[in-house]
């Protein structure tokens, strides 16, 4: 077995910023697409948990979310169906309240997105969360593409189900990976020219498929695999990897 080059071994580039299999500085313009998870990555909350709180069911839903993000639940789709079923009867007003009163962009998000756009990268939001929030975040950050799950409504109340879309039923880890690859193909670029940023185990498939994987305040399993792990500070700390 060939020994790993010491320069490529895991090391702390700066406090709270760990890199592995990388020799900075990299060149941001060498990449052409950056894909972001949404919940707990671009934004500060897990939307499904906060919607459940509006229905008085947060503890039950949050426990399933935490287990799913840690990779303790193998069937992500089923875990999401279970959580969404508990949201039956939640109103549009409740979702508006979550967006307006609870949801915030995470520190450094706007700075990182602006830097990537200035360097010519296309931007993709790909989420196991919901279109109600994802489309608003896409517009707010002027992202190029977004894919997420569509909640089903009966009037202004949730039915507890999701709606199948042209690409499939639920945006799980495999769908995230396929979406990144599909957008890369659309752009005529290699997966190695892509960056994927996430925090949970359902982000690992897309992170493994690209040239640069980034874990943001992530679960241990995700931190352990990512080429960049931001454990302290904002998402814009990724830019330190690209500085001389």
pTM exceeding the 0.85 threshold for the entire prediction: yes
**More reliable by pLDDT, 8 or 188:** 188
Query: Quick one: average pLDDT of 115-144?
Result: 98
Q: Look at residue 9 in the predicted model and tell me its pLDDT.
A: 81
Strand, helix or coil at 161? strand
Q: In the 3-class helix/strand/coil scheme, how is 35-76 assigned residue by residue?
A: EECCECCCECCCHHHHHHHHCCCHHHHHHHHHHHHCCCCCCH
Residue pair 94/54 in contact (Cβ under 8 Å)? The answer is yes
Are 104 and 44 in contact, with CB atoms under 8 Å apart? Answer: yes
Active-site entry in 30, 37, 156, 172? 37
Residue 1: per-residue pLDDT: 43
Is 37 catalytic? The answer is yes
| 30 is known as an active-site residue | no
Domain boundaries, the chain: 6-44+105-149+163-242
Residue 75 has pLDDT above 60, yes or no: yes
* Residue of 39, 49, 203, 236 with catalytic role: 39
pLDDT at 125 over 70: yes
| Radius of gyration, alpha carbons of the chain | 18
CA–CA distance, 229 with 157 (Å, rounded to integer):
39
Least confident stretch, 58-72, 103-117, 118-132, 184-198: 58-72
Give me the architecture of the 6-44+105-149+163-242 domain, per CATH. 3-Layer(aba) Sandwich (3.40)
Candidates 64, 80, 107, 59; CA nearest to 217 is 107
Q: How confident is the model at residue 55 (pLDDT cuts 50, 70, 90)?
A: confident
Q: Where are the beta strands (DSSP E) in 9-164?
A: 11-14, 17-19, 33-36, 122-130, 145-154, 157-163
């Amino acid at each position: 077995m060939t020994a790993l080059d010491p320069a490529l071994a895991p090391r702390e580039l700066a406090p709270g910023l760990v890199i592995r299999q990388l020799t900075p500085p990299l060149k941001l313009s060498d990449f052409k697409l950056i894909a972001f998870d949404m919940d707990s990555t671009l934004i500060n909350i897990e939307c499904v948990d906060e919607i459940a709180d509006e229905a008085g069911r947060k503890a039950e839903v949050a426990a399933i979310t935490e287990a799913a993000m840690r990779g303790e639940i193998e069937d992500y789709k089923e875990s999401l169906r279970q959580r969404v079923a508990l949201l039956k009867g939640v109103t549009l007003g409740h979702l508006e309240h979550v967006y307006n009163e609870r949801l915030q962009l995470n520190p450094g998000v706007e700075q990182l997105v602006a830097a990537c756009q200035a360097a010519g990268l296309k931007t993709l939001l790909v989420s196991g969360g919901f279109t109600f929030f994802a489309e608003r975040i896409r517009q707010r950050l002027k992202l190029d593409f977004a894919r997420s799950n569509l909640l089903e409504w009966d009037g202004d109340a949730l039915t507890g189900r999701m709606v199948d879309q042209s690409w499939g039923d639920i945006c799980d880890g495999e769908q995230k990976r396929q979406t990144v690859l599909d957008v890369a193909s659309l752009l005529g670029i290699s997966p190695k020219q892509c960056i994927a940023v996430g925090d949970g185990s359902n982000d690992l498939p897309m992170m493994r498929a690209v040239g640069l994987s980034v874990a943001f305040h992530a679960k241990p399993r995700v931190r352990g695999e990512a080429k960049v792990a931001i454990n302290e500070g904002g998402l814009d700390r990724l830019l330190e990897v690209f500085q001389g």
